[in-house]
Amino acid sequence: MSKKIAVIIGSTRPTRIGADIADWFVRNVSDTPNATFEIIDLKEINLPFLDEAKSPAAGVYEHEHTKQWKKLIDSYDGYVLVSAEYNAGYPAPLKNALDYLSAEWHDKPVAIVSYGWGGGASASAQLRQVVERLKMRPTGVSPSLFFGPDTFTEDAQLADVNKSFAGHVKEAEMAASQLVELISVE
């Protein structure tokens, strides 16, 4: 039976490239056996900064946007977090989206795909700490996509996502395979 995996775009900036990277990831792992990948865009979800009166650990949500976020997250078997690195960290909207829920993340497998001039290594490391605190099970492989001199056009968009990250395809495939394996041992 095919496992349903959410690929969550963590950046909501107007000039972000996270959507292109999420699409690239899905295209490159779409042949992963027993897995279906679907993109969730936090820009479209548009969660306000955490506004629930009770701690997410209580599992009591009063706002409709939180209930809808819970329902969406509960519908997936695993997750891929696609994260930019901003000032040695990951984007606030991604942290906010993770913090909205608690038990919904427990025991769920997760892969982290980071990107930036340094491959997003600091963002990835911070995310790993957070997902482990949320009792998620991260994959051993976390693709870190490095920018090179020819990565961007003059208007700060990706020149050619396939060319820029061709060297990371195997890493993406390994992360997707590990994610499916982790889902299978739940």
- 178: number of CA atoms within 13 Å, CB side? 17
Residues 6+ apart with CB under 8 A from 145: 21, 113, 114, 115, 116, 119, 120, 164, 165, 168
pLDDT > 90? residue 185? no
pTM above threshold 0.95? yes
User: What pLDDT digit, counting tens, does each position of 128-173 carry?
Assistant: 999 999 999 999 999 999 998 899 999 888 999 999 999 999 999 9
pLDDT tens digits, 94-139: 999 999 999 999 999 999 999 999 999 999 999 999 999 999 999 9
Model confidence pLDDT, tens digit, residues 12-65: 999 899 999 999 999 999 999 999 999 999 999 999 999 999 999 999 999 999
Q: Where are the domains of the chain?
A: 3-184
1 pLDDT band, cuts 50/70/90, is confident
Topology (CATH level 3) of domain 3-184? Rossmann fold (3.40.50)
Nearest Cα to 59, choosing from 73, 45, 70, 47? 70
- pLDDT confidence band for 186 (50 / 70 / 90): low
